[in-house]
Structure 1
Amino acid sequence: MQNGFKRRFEPIKILSNSNIEQIHTASLEILEELGFKYESEKALKLLEAHGCKVDYTTMVAKIPSGLVEWALDKTPSSFLVRAREPEKSLRIGGNTMYFMNSTGARHVNIDTGILTTPTLKQNNIAVLVSDSLDTVHVFPSYTPYFEIENVPPVMSCPVSCAQRHRFSTKPSRGATEAESFIWEIKIAEVLDCQLLGLICGNPPFSMGKDNASAAFAYLDAGFPIYVASGSPLGSTRPVTVSGGIASYNAELFAIIVLIQCIKPGSGVLVDDSILSLNMQTGDMNFGTAATAMQQMAFNQMWHSFYKVPVSDVGAAFSNSKIIDYQLGAEKLPVAMCSALSGGNIIVLHGGVTAELAYNPVLAIIDDDIARTIGRIIEGFDVNDDAIGLNYINEVGFTGSFLSKKHTRAYWKTEDYMPKIFDKTSYSEWIDTGKKTVVDKAKEKYEDILANYKPKPVTDEQDKEIDKILKEAENYYRKKGLL
């Protein structure tokens, strides 16, 4: 089991109890009055059997508040995700925090900002690099790259899933696009592991047929579910933080109701991917104050009030096109707010601009950021030995603590010393070639490629994965998608 980081203090709370009740009541009212559109007759029939008012013409189900409360009560506060290597499995929930790899459509040259479609080899290397990083605990779907050279779009998710499992032993999230869940479930079963089954809503207040079908399939396989329905404030949901949370929570409630009606007690991880919109350009606006505040309020409601595990996406991307000060300034504050307010998973490593660009060298730099955040939430001891009153009195007015046993015992655990950040003196920096953090990360990248070897799948498993991918190709070819 991966340890992650243990939050040793109460998460920061920015909402009053009355604030929480008002937002919660608004979400319930949305589902009772407006309802939620499920583009699946199978899902609608199940919901009707559980007390929902269903209009089969519009495919809208109006969900009673009592059913929502029942579904939330059935959702556990933590759950296990089994990896292909037991020591890489995760227990998601409680006060444990993990980091999830970020993603991007294409490979970005970190020196020029130029985007190119990655080769399969580049994709595999990026997975391997993240597998080597202790603070990457889990992979999302279609990561590290959405697009892979010479891989048809309809095959991108199954191929990505296969390569993540071939080049990493860590857990992974499944996808839903174009029924990719059919093949991804088979890949996981060959490796005797679980996926976090991704189920997405289509804002505002609807769910497509593929996602409903994926819910039944992932739950039938015994997998926990990753629930998402993200969209920016001011587009398909109100521009205000409180209005955005109320509408988003209603969508998450509707999906959780379906999940618990299918299989009560199933593990659920709710995704917070409510981001901001740049009203001057219409583009996404990453790393904003609104995103940070929204995440803190969202985490308070889900982690502390509903007691359902949370995954925060706000720190996954920046608007910067290269690795620069802006990138760090947009990602770090949002990640820190998430960690302090109860996030169980923070999506961070490797994502550069929007969801357009990824580079594994940035993932190496983000490893230091993740370790620093993790060290902060682990807190510090307050006891007689840690305070060291005897040493304080012994040193007195004129002495130094450098030679004391107390210093030797604590200096490594009280802080975190980054491995990639430049911590040299100015003269040493000059003498060693004036290396930047990017230069040092590139050196670490080459070291990983030369020396890191993840445990491979067996030859038999590898052949079975190839068979599954071939089966997927034949399936899509018959449907005219290849």
Structure 2
Amino acid sequence: MLNRFQTLSDSGKEKIHAACMEVLGKTGVVFEDDEALAIFKANDFSVEGNKVFFREEQVMKALETAPSEFLIRARDPEKTVRIGGDHFVLSPGWGAPFMIDADGTRRSATMEDADNCLKLAQSSPYIDMAASGMVCPPDLNPKTASAELLASTFIHSDKPLTGNPCSRENAVELLEMASIVWGSREEVMKSPVAITSINPTSPLIFGPEAAGSVIELARGGQALLISSMVMAGLSGPITLAGTAVLEMAESLAGVVLAQLVRPGTPCVCGGTSCGADLRLCSATIGSPELLKMMNIATEMARYYGLPCRYGGGLTDAHAPDAQAGMESALTMALSLAAGTHYMHQACGILGAYTAMSLEKFVMDEELAGALRRALQPVEITDETLALDTITRLGAGSSFLMEPTTAMRCRTEFFLPTLAYRNNYTKWEAAGKPQLTDTARLHVRERLSAYTKPDMDPAIEKDLMAYIDARRASSSTAA
């Protein structure tokens, strides 16, 4: 099959691997966490100050214990997901401080917005995960915000959890709150109930938040997304190959730490590295450079036997307009086609991760549904080849009234909810609705129809008691 995407040759992979090993072995990675440094020292890694140096054999030995596939359990067992292998998982947009309203107004996000985002994720037929902190309301107390958003996620969704720790303390909160929901810490540690994005600071720094989160979550038996965002020409070399080396070196450093803490910790490598518009000194996430980085990352992840995170409904646009649709379609479609296993930021994100839009969410969601269908192999059987029907009807016939047409008309084709397919006259008579208009109405309908998943009232009460205790502790500390 002709594949116009760059495919790394074996020698290309070996060159990138050798470059990663040289960076890890000679340049080293800074870990701004005393426990992380102690763990490396105890395992015979060279440590100078807060900089850790990795020998190739140490890296490869650690990777031997990292699984190539794993499950993330959901409260509803039917929604448990498998990451790795031939599987892919879609997680919604995350981390935006702003909302873009239907009229285009940008404003600070609120807790109501966070809950509405979760309602869309929970009711989505195409999104697999519920993400804590899809928006980050700035009016929440910073000391309790992560716990409050996490409690809302557990309450509003029974899908697998994408966590949102900003610090070691937040990672501990996740484990404690998950233990409330699942009944005990022992149950939580049996196999992961959450996967959490850990972001190094490029170039080559794991701050106390990132390093501490890796340690606590690995120790607690949870899965990790070791996810770098190197910006070519800003926080990494101007060359995409050099940026790919830096991204992979950072990811591998985090995976190694996780394996030292708890061998077998499920880890996803990769990230969301991209080019930069040096006229503006800003990242460009809706760019072809991100797609090139993604293609290298997915191939190198396979080289190391790890699942890969990349792509999403990514755009630099500030409204759910044609630019947003174009860029999101490119980044989502090509990332899935390249073999990404875990897609963070799949739905709703705008403005290079700075804003969330409910209308964009459902538009991206429909794109995700179409891509899921497009990536399903065509069934080739005696029945689907339909030779009997073709022979019987022959040339010039209509197949519309055939029984098989009626039987398969709702399953053979993808039927969009938002995209308009009727003729021009009817579209004009309907007032020439734009996709954003249809999306706005669909959001209202979805939020009105949302039903909170079942949760034992005692568990919800315990979650809220935990939040109250965190608030009280925060007030006392202040």
TM-score by length of 1: 0.91
- Alpha carbons of structure 1 residues 478 and 200: separation in structure 2 relative to 1, 3 Å: farther
Please give the root-mean-square deviation of Cα atoms over the aligned residues, in Å: 2.2
**In structure 2, which of residues 454, 457, 460 is the aligned counterpart of residue 459 of structure 1?**
457
Q: Deviations over 1:259-291 (max 9, x none)?
A: 111111111122421022111111221311111
Structure 1 distance, partners of 2:205, 2:276, is 21
Once the two structures are TM-superposed, the CA of residue 47 in structure 1 deviates from its matched residue by: 1.6
Given the alignment, which residue of 312, 321, 324 partners 1:324? 321
Amino acid paired to 1:24 = H
Change over 3 Å in CA distance of 1:251–1:88 after alignment to 2: same
Matched residue, 1:366: 364
* CA–CA distance in structure 2, aligned partners of residues 411 and 362 of structure 1: 28
- Structure 2 partner of 1:404: 402
Greater shift, 193-202 or 350-359, is seen at: 193-202
Q: Which runs of structure 2 are paired with 1:270-309 in the superposition (5 Å)?
A: 270-302=269-301, 304-309=302-307
Q: Secondary structure at the match of 1:269?
A: strand
Bigger relative contact order, structure 1 or 2 (CA pairs below 8 A, ≥6 apart): 1
Amino acid at match of 2:326: A
Instruction: Please tell me the residue identity of whatever aligns with 1:180.
Output: N
Say if 2:165 is the partner of 1:173.
Answer: no
| Structure 2 Cα separation of the partners of residues 141 and 230 of structure 1 | 20
Q: 1:370 and 1:96 mapped to 2: Cα distance?
A: 14
Q: What code does the residue aligned with 2:22 have?
A: E
Q: 1:100 aligns with which of 67, 91, 94?
A: 91
User: Which residue among 137, 149, 159 is the counterpart of 2:148?
Assistant: 159
Aligned residue identity for 1:197: T
Offset of residue 148 of structure 1: 4.8
Between the aligned partners of 1:210 and 1:80, the Cα distance in structure 2 is 25
Instruction: State the percentage of identical aligned residues.
Output: 21
Q: CA deviation at 1:343?
A: 0.8
Residue in 1 that maps onto 2:101: 109
Provide the C-alpha distance between the structure 1 equivalents of 2:132 and 2:22, rounded to a whole number of angstroms: 33
Letter in 1 for 2:420: D
- Kindly indicate whether the alpha-carbon contact (under 8 Å) linking 1:323 and 1:352 is maintained by their aligned counterparts in 2: yes
Q: Report if aligned partners of 2:123, 2:450 keep a CA contact under 8 Å in 1.
A: yes
Q: Structure 1: how far apart are the matches of 2:109 and 2:46? A: 48
Counterpart of 1:389, as a letter, is L
Query: Do 2:230 and 2:243's aligned partners in 1 also have CA atoms closer than 8 Å?
Result: no
Deviation at 1:133, TM superposition (A): 0.7
What is the CA distance between 1:422 and its match in structure 2? 0.9
Q: What is the CA–CA distance in structure 2 between the aligned matches of 1:307 and 1:388, rounded to whole Å?
A: 41
CA contact under 8 A between 1:129 and 1:448: conserved in structure 2? yes
Does the CA-based 8 Å contact 1:142-1:161 persist in structure 2?
yes
TM-score, length of structure 2 as denominator length: 0.91
The answer to whether the Cα contact below 8 Å between 2:122 and 2:130 also exists between their aligned partners in 1 is: no
Task: Name the CA distance, whole Å, in 1 between partners of 2:447 and 2:394.
Answer: 51
CA distance in 1, matches of 2:286, 2:386: 40
- CA deviation map 1:172-199 (0-9, x unaligned): 2223324222222211111116221333
- Residues 77 and 12 (structure 1), Cα distance of their counterparts in 2 relative to 1, 3 Å cut: farther
Give the secondary structure class of the aligned counterpart of 1:153: coil
**One-letter code aligned to 2:196:** G
Per the alignment, residue 81 of structure 2 pairs with 90
Q: Give the aligned residue type for 1:333.
A: L
Deviations 1:388-420 (A, max 9, x none): 233333333322232334544555444312111
Question: Residue 243 of structure 1: CA displacement?
Answer: 1.2
Residue 330 of structure 2 aligns to which amino acid in structure 1?
P
Counterpart CA distance in 2 for 1:170 and 1:299 is: 26
Report how far residue 320 of structure 1 moved.
1.5
CA positional deviation for 1:476: 3.7
Q: Give 3-state SS (helix, strand or coil) of 1:80's partner.
A: strand
2:185 aligns with none
**Take 1:123 and 1:175, find their aligned partners in 2: how far apart are those partners?**
13
The residue correspondences of 1:310-389 to structure 2 (distance < 5 A) are: 310-312=308-310, 314-346=311-343, 347-389=345-387
| SS of residue paired to 1:107 | strand
Partner of 2:74, secondary structure, is coil
Cα deviation, residue 421, structure 1: 0.9
Whether the 8 Å CA contact 1:107–1:117 is kept in 2: the answer is yes
Matched-pair contact (CA < 8 Å) for 1:388–1:406: no
Query: Partner amino acid for 1:49?
Result: A
Unaligned runs of 5+ in 1: 1-9
Change (3 A) 1:202 1:475: farther
Distance 1:168 1:137 in 2: 11
Q: Which residue of 2 aligns with 1:120?
A: 111
Question: In structure 2, how many angstroms separate the alpha carbons of the residues matched to 1:380 and 1:436?
Answer: 32
Deviates more, 1:60-69 or 1:88-97: 88-97
Whichever residue aligns with residue 146 of structure 1, its letter is: C
Which of 23, 27, 42 lines up with 1:30 in the alignment? 23
The unaligned stretches of length 5 or more in structure 2 are: 183-187
Which digits, 9 at most, give the CA deviation of each residue in 1:115-166, with x for residues without a partner? 11233223212211221111121134421x11254x1233222211111111
Say whether the 8 Å CA contact 1:141–1:174 is kept in structure 2. Answer: yes
User: Contact between 2:132 and 2:153, CA under 8 Å: does it hold in 1?
Assistant: no
Q: Distance in 2 between matches of 1:398 and 1:225?
A: 58
For residue 266 of structure 1, give the secondary structure of its aligned residue in structure 2. coil
The answer (yes or no) to whether the contact 1:98–1:135 under 8 Å persists in 2 is no
Q: CA deviation at 1:479?
A: 4.7
Contact residue 230 and residue 273 of structure 1 kept, 8 A: yes
